[in-house]
Amino acid sequence: MKIFKTFLLLMLSIQILSLSENNEIIYLDTNNIINITMNAAEKKNLSLPGGEGDKYFLTILALTKGVKISINQVVDFRGSNNNPNIEPKENIFTHSRESDKYKYKYIEFSIDKNSTVEISSVIINEANKTNEYKKIDYKVDSKIQVDKNNFVIFLEDEKIENFEMKFKFKDNIKNINVTYGFIYLPIKDEKYLVLGKNYKTGTDNKLEQKNFPESEMELKVNNPYYDGEMKKPENKDHFAFIFSIDDGEKMVGDFNFTINSEIINLFLIISIAVALVFAVITFFLIRRKQTSEESSNIEGEDSKEEKIVNEEKEEKEEKDDKEISSEN
């Protein structure tokens, strides 16, 4: 058995050397994203991290439209070097290593036009789940529970100007650093997402970073891609919101958050406007009633004075009539 393992190791080493004779090997990290500039027909070798039992997710993306990626050779864990005859979808290639232990350890690829290529690398295993994302449905004005360090909300065609959010962590969680915000992604699958702090170093990302000093925080997150219409980068079609805790060593435990969207804000504005209209109408109705009462009072006083004058006039006329009768 020992001789067999030694033979396999020797075969793998020979295949790796054959891959690297003319091309530099790029050693990928367990959770990272890098950009490299490549020329047409140039070949690159990727050394994929992790071993048997690790869940691994790789993305190779050409950032220029119309660029074709070709996978030329692969070396798996058995040391087999072959031409896999893999046709990447358009300008993107994804590879997952989840259950089959004989998956790729090295990959050689090339492109047919000059372009910048973005490569992301994610390992998830039972010993360390801090790299995992939780996919959450977009909900407004609802308390959403999260049991992972990171979450993503795929928004697709939603035209969102901002999120108003409220977070609540366990009382013992303070002074954690987080990366969050709106982002365009090349694939709609949370397993392929790197930590937010690694996206932050990318050339086209507009994420924010913040320290949460208390267990409760409120955030207003503006969408930098919104300008009346959504402006997406090339070859990244999936609009999303991500929230990622930068602590890669421990799980923070359950926390929850709520979102008040622009729809709710618009509803509040309309409600306030309607209330103001009713207030103005009520004010004018009250003023009209007061004016009417004042007019009635004035008319009443005038009628009273007129009655007194008439009575005095009648009394005088009666007196005059009596005096005339006396004289006769």
Quick check: 111 and 117 in contact, CB under 8 A? yes
Reported as type and span, the H/E element at residue 109 is: strand 104-111
pLDDT (tens digit per residue) in 143-196:
999 999 999 999 988 888 899 999 999 866 778 899 999 999 999 999 999 999
Q: Does position 219 have pLDDT exceeding 70, yes or no?
A: yes
In angstroms, the CA 149 to CA 132 distance is 7
Domain positions in the chain are 2-124, 133-260
CATH class of 2-124: mainly beta
CB neighbour list of residue 211: distance below 8 Å, 6 or more residues apart: 175, 176, 177, 178
CA nearest to 163, candidates 186, 187, 138, 145 = 138
Q: Could you tell me how many residues make up the chain?
A: 328
pTM: 0.72
| CATH code assigned to 133-260 | 2.60.120
Same fold, 2-124 and 133-260: yes
296-317 pLDDT, tens digit per residue, is: 555 555 555 666 666 666 666 6
The stretch 58-69 carries a mean pLDDT of 93
Model confidence at 325, pLDDT cuts 50, 70, 90, reads: low
Average pLDDT (292-296) is 60
Contact, 194 vs 121, CB < 8 A?
yes
Nearest to 218 by CA among 159, 260, 269, 266: 260
